[in-house]
Amino acid sequence: KETKRDQLINLLAQNEKDFISGQAVSGKLNISRTAVWKHINELKKDGYQFEAVPKKGYRLISSPTSVNETTIKWDLKTEWLGQTLIFKDEVDSTQNIAHQLAREGAESGTVVVANKQLKGRGRLNRKWISHQDDGIWMSLILRPEMPPYQASQMTLFTAVSVVDTISKFVKLPVKIKWPNDLFIGNKKFCGILTEMQAELDHIEYLVIGIGLNINQKQTAFPTEIQSKTTSLAIASNQHFDRKTLIQQLLVDYEKNYLEFQRTGFSYVKDKWIENAYKLGENVFIKMPKKSFEATIKGISDDGALLVQTNQNTIEKVYSAEIHW
Ligand code: BT5
């Protein structure tokens, strides 16, 4: 249920261009003037900034730290991506919500964001640690006009686009580890999960999950994965405003998506190569039935990893774990 505080935030966000008087707020929310004043002070403590003018009232200038539907959508400079946005404080997985919405007919560009996930998941039902509101946990519903076999391009596309966004906030070398991880140094801080509902020749919808570690300290991760995990905050010693990052991510994603649709996969490919992790280096390719050593050469148009084996043949790898 929406609290008085939420109602107040919505009211202020709707009136961003005008002042709204304490009297009016008090009337609309059915609370006393003193209660309004108390709420405003609470909001200030939480990083909301107001312009307050006697007799005119309050005007919300910025709401930098909180993440919710209103703050994300307020001032979101996209045409379609995230214009329908579902925000939840706590969910099992944003993927599940997105699938449900997509089945019910949600339009392409619908976005689900949560503060916390109790059952965040990776590929093959692996766990994705996301039970605190210190990262970005979101799922995008897309209905692209592409054959199902090309869907893995969207994972690579997403990786490239997220790199674009992050590089606007930190000057750190972010690398893409095929197929779906982003690394800083030798540590993972972002994972992408592309799930699909399709017919043989037609994608009904994609749910693209993006998990991005933002403000975690090292101890926020379980001991088993601490040594191979990082966050933007750990890597840069800064604190980040998740809302601004989410907004920028949606803007960049939409812009890049348009470009991708116009120029095709080569657009993604070039950017991918620029940021590829271990490009030209020797790694272990681990598949269910075989493992071998090979050198990473690039990616193919269908999103496969191109590797050169010790026998000097070039192979396309569609599904594997990469180790080193
Ligand atoms: C992934 O899987 O990397 C895809 C993660 C996708 C998460 C997003 S969050 C929003 C949406 N809702 C969801 O429920 N999921 C998506 P995979 O490549 O299978 O990697 C999983 C492995 O990453 C785990 O087995 C751990 O070793 C490691 N891991 C788990 N949590 C992590 C975290 N927060 N940061 C870095 N590594 C993590």
Q: Identify which of 128, 133, 210 to mutate to test ligand 1's pocket (most ligand atoms within 8 A of the CB).
A: 128
Write the pLDDT tens digit of every residue in 153-167: 999 999 999 999 999
End-to-end CA distance of the chain: 49
Measured by CA distance, the residue closest to atom 35 of ligand 1 is: 189
pLDDT attached to residue 203: 97
pLDDT attached to residue 277: 95
Cα 130 to averaged position of ligand 1 atoms, centre (Å): 8
pLDDT attached to residue 63: 65
Least confident of 71-80, 134-143, 284-293: 71-80
pLDDT grade, residue 202 (50/70/90)? Answer: very high
pLDDT attached to residue 1: 58
Cα 209 to averaged position of ligand 1 atoms, centre (Å): 9
| 87, pLDDT greater than 80 | yes
Contact yes or no for 10/31 (Cβ under 8 A): no
ipTM of the complex: 0.99
| 65, pLDDT greater than 60 | no
| Residue 316: both structure tokens together | 């396309």
Neighbours of 271 (CB within 10 A): 21
In angstroms, the Cα distances linking 221 to 172, 212, 231, 288, 316 are 21, 13, 10, 28, 34
> What number is the average pLDDT over the span 84-94?
96
Contact yes or no for 4/34 (Cβ under 8 A): no
| Mean pLDDT of the residues in the chain | 93
- 136 Cβ inside 6 Å of ligand 1: no
In angstroms, the Cα distances linking 192 to 30, 34, 152, 258, 307 are 44, 47, 11, 20, 22
